[in-house]
């Protein structure tokens, strides 16, 4: 459970935030609704969900909270099923996340050359 107001996390069974009294919501719901989208920033976009998930697991392995957002790309209205996958992190983590992603993509390029 998580407080949508101050983002404090609580164990199951607790329904109100001890800090601000806000009603807690399940973590998945919090991430799904992105109640404070201004706190998140897109650090990478791709058309491949597996690539986004690979980056997410690497980022989260490094302690960076990561959110994958799938959405249709409205700039390509002719291509019906083409979805854009965005890798979002908290603004405070953005600089680290970009560095981590760059390292991953660089090392992938190297392994493809070999």
Q: Which is nearer to Zn ion, 2 or 43 (CB)?
A: 2
Task: For residue 105, give Cα distances in angstroms to 51, 74, 87.
Answer: 10, 26, 14
> What would the x/- binding string for Zn ion be over residues 8 to 47, using CB under 5 A?
---------x-xx-x-------------------------
Residue 1 sits in the site that holds Zn ion (CB under 5 A): no
- Is 2 a residue that touches Zn ion (CB under 5 A)? no
Closer Cβ to Zn ion, 20 or 49, answer by number: 20
Contact status, residue 34 vs residue 67, Cβ threshold 8 Å = yes
**Residue 14 CA: distances (Å) to CA of 5, 25, 101, 114:** 15, 10, 36, 53
Tokens of 14: 């607790």
87 forms part of the interface with Zn ion (CB under 5 A) = no
Point out which residues bind Zn ion (CB under 5 A). Answer: 3, 5-6, 17, 19-20, 22
């Amino acid at each position: 459970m998580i407080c949508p107001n101050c983002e404090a996390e609580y164990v199951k069974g607790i329904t109100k935030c001890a800090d601000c009294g806000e009603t807690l919501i399940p973590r998945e719901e919090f991430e799904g609704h992105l109640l404070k989208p201004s706190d998140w920033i897109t650090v990478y976009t791709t058309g491949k969900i597996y690539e986004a998930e690979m980056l997410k697991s690497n980022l989260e392995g490094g302690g960076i909270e990561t959110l994958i957002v799938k959405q249709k790309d409205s700039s390509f209205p002719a291509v019906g099923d083409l979805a854009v996958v965005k890798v979002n992190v908290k603004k405070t983590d953005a600089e680290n996340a970009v560095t981590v992603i760059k390292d991953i993509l660089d090392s992938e390029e190297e392994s493809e050359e070999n």
